[in-house]
Chains A and B, each alone.
Chain A
Amino acid sequence: MKFALFHGCNIPARVAQYANATEAVCDRLGIELVEIADFNCCGYPARNTDDRAFVLSAAKNLALAEKAGLDLLVMCKCCYGSLKKAEYVLHQNQDLKADINRFLAKESLQYQNGIQVNHLLSVLYHAVGIDRLKGAISKTYSGLQIAVSYGCHALRPSNVTGFDDPVSPRIFDELVEITGAFSVDWTRKLDCCGAPLTGINDRLAMDMAQKKIASARESGAHFICTACPYTHLQFDVVQTRLATNPENGEPLAAILYPQLLGLCLGIDQKALGISENLIDLSGINSFFMAE
């Protein structure tokens, strides 16, 4: 099993532990990850102002993966949504595709829709499979309650992203439950984390994060589980800022999915970057049953 790993821009600069944990988990599961140095921005931040710049950025990445003959493994939900959207738009609009391919030809690239864009969670769920994952787990949590944050740009628009059922998704819950943890039902599970407006309308972005955190806490969750650097930064960096106001309550730590799974695979805490999250999550170790 071999994929081109798409890092995006946020992960290398601000959430390096997500890539490290993903690589450690994939290594353990026998998934080969290939680095393509020429990958660039997925196009997501350009969408507000310049649709063509967005499609061109996304298409270059798709064309690079196609040239390497590899399907993509994407860690960021926003990169995933952006690449899926570009794929969709290029399929619908053949004139745009021809225009984009003229640009790409300058770099000896072309996009012909020859590869598949996958999120990390989809690869683990569909390509590896629940049974194989269960077989690889060496220890499980007991009494741990997790609130999974699905991520808007993976779930919706579902006709474009094809990630899971947009109303009643299961992938993330099932992936969490193989670790022995319980995936709690919480009202804001499918809602926005606020990240798209951080830096634009910070008040609104913080309101969104705060409402999700409160909802997760109410459901009895011990941690929020994320699989997107934007969501992670909202629940880690932005939440730290929110926590300076005592009215917002105690912080609820976020854990990246490959960190949660990695611990059960017996991977070293350091390799998973457990101490690199801003909000301390060392308490998770108390949920492992004494051997």
Chain B
Amino acid sequence: MDPVTSSPANLVTRLIMELDACTHCGSCSLNCSAAMVFEAAGNEYILPSEKMAFLKNLASGKKLDDRQTRAIQEGVYLCTNCDRCTVRCPSGIRLKDLWYSVREQLLAGGPPLAHVLTPYSFARGLMIRETVPVDEYTRPIETAKQALAGRFVDLMNPDIPIPLNVQTKEGSQPAIRDNTYAHCFSCQSCTTVCPVVGNYDNPEQVVGLMPHQIMCCLGLGLIEMAAGAQMIWDCLTCYKCQENCPQQVEVCDVLYRLKNSAVESIER
């Protein structure tokens, strides 16, 4: 059955039959590539068998509360699209197709989801981008970026003085646990070699803060400003900055830590 040419009614019928065909045997979850992410994050909806049980309930008209919506949205997204669940399903259910369609519905209706800004989105960019309307495709990306930017725009307002006496609790921010940025002497090598910065005529407007400016922010304790910059989500993780730093600042790893802490802050 082709998702593009088949009649929508037939597609829905097949979907309902597939939900009904699931015996909750757990073969999919035993072979799930993201099983360790479930172990770390504790969200059972990461496991395919639990997503199926949930979708069955949903199809039978069950209403969701906010917490459940968030959990299922995250669970459906934290999938590496390896297709192993589909390969291993003894009932022959095409689980991968289910995930693709349910994922788009949950993204459209749910709260901003930080995981959209991770390589979990690779398959969506490769295979889904061409099949859904442009605004439906980009909206989840834009809302996640906005939510993660926090107060960045206000903090960057040139009329407001930068507070230089920021108090941070020791160890409370993952970004400051590792302080290699303290060795930065602002030579700007990281920014000079960064292919993202190099891609634009006006990088400051596009990425908010350039890599050396982020290191400088961290040195001044301006963690919220650093973690709100678009740059951290536009980072290609090519590690050129880190490789070229004469002071062994772990620039790319610091950006990774900032991403982790920005996500933690919207989840709290």
Contact = CB atoms under 8 A, between A and B. Distances in A.
**A, B co-complexed:** yes
A137 to B, nearest CB: 33
Interface in A239-260: 241
B195 A191 contact: yes
A53 interface: yes
Given A9-B82, A199-B125, A48 B260 contact: yes
Nearest to A38: B31
B116 A56 contact: no
A46 interface: yes
B238 interface: yes
A284 interface: no
Interface string B82-121: 1110010000000010000000000000000011111111
B199 to A, nearest CB: 5
Contacts of B115: 49
A41 B37 contact: yes
B11 to A, nearest CB: 21
Interface in B115-155: 115-126, 129-130, 141
A41 B243 contact: no
Nearest to B96: A13
Interface residues of B, number: 55
Interface in A20-78: 37, 40-41, 43-53, 56-57, 60, 78
A204 B233 CA distance: 11
Interface in B215-268: 233-234, 236-240, 242-243, 250, 252-253, 256-257, 259-260, 263
A237 interface: yes
A57 B36 contact: yes
Contact of A50 (B31, B117, B260): B260
Nearest to B240: A156
Given A9-B81, A202-B125, A197 B236 contact: yes
B80 interface: yes
A152 B82 contact: no
A47 B256 contact: yes
A215 interface: no
Contacts of B116: 200
Interface string A138-176: 000000000000001101111000000010000000000
B37 A50 contact: yes
A237 B126 CA distance: 7
A57 B36 CA distance: 5
A103 B35 CA distance: 12
B118 A49 contact: yes
B200 to A, nearest CB: 9
A198 B130 CA distance: 13
B119 A48 contact: yes
A47 B236 CA distance: 13
A156 B260 contact: no
B40 interface: yes
A78 B243 CA distance: 17
A194 interface: yes
B33 interface: yes
A139 B194 CA distance: 41
A204 B126 contact: no
Given A53-B41, A57-B34, A208-B236, 14 more contacts: A13-B96, A45-B119, A50-B263, A51-B256, A52-B40, A56-B40, A57-B37, A156-B238, A158-B243, A192-B195, A192-B238, A198-B125, A199-B123, A199-B125
